[in-house]
Structure 1
Amino acid sequence: MTGSSALSKAKGFKKSRSGTYLSIGTTAFGAIGVIKQARKARSEQDMLKLVDAAVSAAAIVTGLAILYRELKRLGDDDVLMG
């Protein structure tokens, strides 16, 4: 049952402060690709690709907001425990 133990640890890390920071970093890194996609769509004057980039950007902003809220919640839990 080492697999389920490793899975439990991974889930615990994802809900930790470090895991949340890592998620924020990877999500923000994804924004670089969206910016490149938007620039290319603009230069090609491709409205459909531009809309796709805008929707992707909105998803990234929403994801970052959710992660920020999770980070704040984790900070509040630390205060309550101490």
Structure 2
Amino acid sequence: MSALTKAKSFKKSKAGTYLSIGTTAFGALGVAKQIKAARSEHDTLRLLDAAITGAAIVTGIALLLRELKRIGDDDVLLG
């Protein structure tokens, strides 16, 4: 099995999905910093950018959680 095939199968595994959730949630720290800086500078455009980025993070985590649930439903050991 090639390294590329292993990487693709890891991405669709439970561990890969958990890792994706963690890295996506880690991006929320950057958004929080951006919001704090935008508020202190009264920069409406940067605040709007941070809000949209935050919404994208929330949506991404929701999609990953749905994928995790789908992986769990397909697990033969659970059913």
- The two structures have a TM-score, normalised by structure 1, of 0.91
Deviation (angstroms), 1:42:
0.4
Tell whether 2:21 aligns with 1:24.
Answer: yes
Unaligned runs of 5+ in 2: none
1:14 aligns to what?
11
More helix by share: 1
Q: Cα deviations across residues 17-71 of structure 1 (Å, max 9, x unaligned)?
A: 0000000000000000000000100010000000000000000000000000000
* Inter-partner Cα distance in structure 2 for 1:77 and 1:43: 48
2:57 aligns to what?
60
Unaligned runs of 5+ in 1: none
1:50 aligns to what?
47
The count of corresponding residues between Structure 1 and Structure 2 is: 77
